Amino acid sequence: MSALLSFRHLRKSFGERELLDAGPFAIGEGEAYVITGDNGSGKTTLLRILAGLEEGEIAGFEFHGLPLDHGSLPDAVRHDIVYVHQHPYLFHTTIMHNIGYGLAARGIHGTERRRLAEEAIAWAGVDHLRAIYPPKLSGGEKQRVALARAKVLRPRLFLLDEPTANLDGEARGQAIALIRQLVQDQSSLLIACHDRELIELPGMRRFHLEGGKLTQV
């Protein structure tokens, strides 16, 4: 299977402290991975660098066969990778607008956009919440809306940062169910977490980050 995303070397330091010194790394298309590691090991930073939200020294970065200069993600790539924050940020508008946001950014409007957004709302099971002002949603509800907002764009790669870390009980279960769906749909996922249930999902592979180094487990 061809590599979806790969790099030879990735280094990140904060002042004197070297946080990441990892590589070579590659993940394939249609594969789901968790990245485990202790708190502070750099899982979030790694994901954010891959998402283009933070600077890092990368050598030999390739996405879907395209070598990238990591300063600026070209449009094509921006549209293909979606990063979801640990505490997702929903725009202060409506759920419908949030989910349709990425579609509008890609030039999809009108009935087509509405149709796709409705599909995503149904998929995430948040139809009953649609009239609520997004900032007022609970953590679990926000996570599901954020996942729907990402899924509706059918990105080549999902980068999920600790999707269940702040959830428990029913909320956590619902989020895990959605992620299981994504895995079953053969989406490409890179998930930073230490949630037992996610790690043990059928089809889930695993990397471990320790001492700045990534090892496949």
Partner 1 sequence: MDILGSTRQAFALLLSGDAELWTIIWISLRVSLVALAAATPPAVVLGYALAQKRFPGRRILVVLIQGLLSFPTVVVGLILYILLTRQGPLGSWHLLFTQGAMIMGQAVIAFPVLTAFALAAVQGADPRAHETAVSLGASPLRATLTTLLEVRFAVVAGIFNGFGRVISEVGCAMMVGGNIAGVTRNIPTAIALETSKGDFAQGIALGVVLMLFALGISIALGLLQGRGGLK
Q: Which of 35, 51, 121, 129 binds partner 1 (CB under 8 A)?
A: 51
Phi, psi of 207 (to 5 degrees): -115, 150
Return the number of the residue (135 or 173) whose C-beta is nearest partner 1. 135
Return the number of the residue (4 or 146) whose C-beta is nearest partner 1. 146
Return the number of the residue (25 or 83) whose C-beta is nearest partner 1. 83
Torsion of CA 123, 129, 131, 132, to 10 degrees: -130
Q: Is the peptide bond before 24 cis (omega within 30 degrees of 0)?
A: yes
- Spell out, one character per residue from 31 to 50, where the chain touches partner 1: x when CB under 8 A holds, - when not: --------------------
Where do we find the tokens 């619902």? 174
Contact flag: residue 66 with partner 1 (CB under 8 A): no
Size of the site for partner 1 (CB under 8 A): 25
Return the number of the residue (153 or 209) whose C-beta is nearest partner 1. 153
Return the number of the residue (12 or 23) whose C-beta is nearest partner 1. 12
- Spell out, one character per residue from 158 to 197, where the chain touches partner 1: x when CB under 8 A holds, - when not: ----------------------------------------
Report the nearest approach of partner 1 to the CB of residue 81 (Å): 8
Report the nearest approach of partner 1 to the CB of residue 83 (Å): 4
- Spell out, one character per residue from 124 to 163, where the chain touches partner 1: x when CB under 8 A holds, - when not: -----------x-------------xx--x----------
Residues from 73 through 102 that contact partner 1 (CB under 8 A)? 75, 78-79, 81-85, 87-89, 91-93, 101-102
- Tell me which residue of 142, 130, 206, 131 sits closest to 175, measured CA to CA: 142
SS3 label, residue 20: strand
107: alpha, beta or left, given left = phi > 0 and alpha = psi -120 to 50?
left
d(CA 109, CA 116): 10
Phi, psi of 81 (to 5 degrees): -120, 130
SS3 label, residue 69: coil
Q: Do 157 and 190 meet the contact criterion of CB atoms below 8 Å apart?
A: yes
Output the CA–CA distances (angstroms, integers) from residue 84 to 15, 140, 213, in the order listed: 27, 13, 23
- The site for partner 1 (CB under 8 A) is made up of 51-53, 75, 78-79, 81-85, 87-89, 91-93, 101-102, 105-106, 135, 149-150, 153
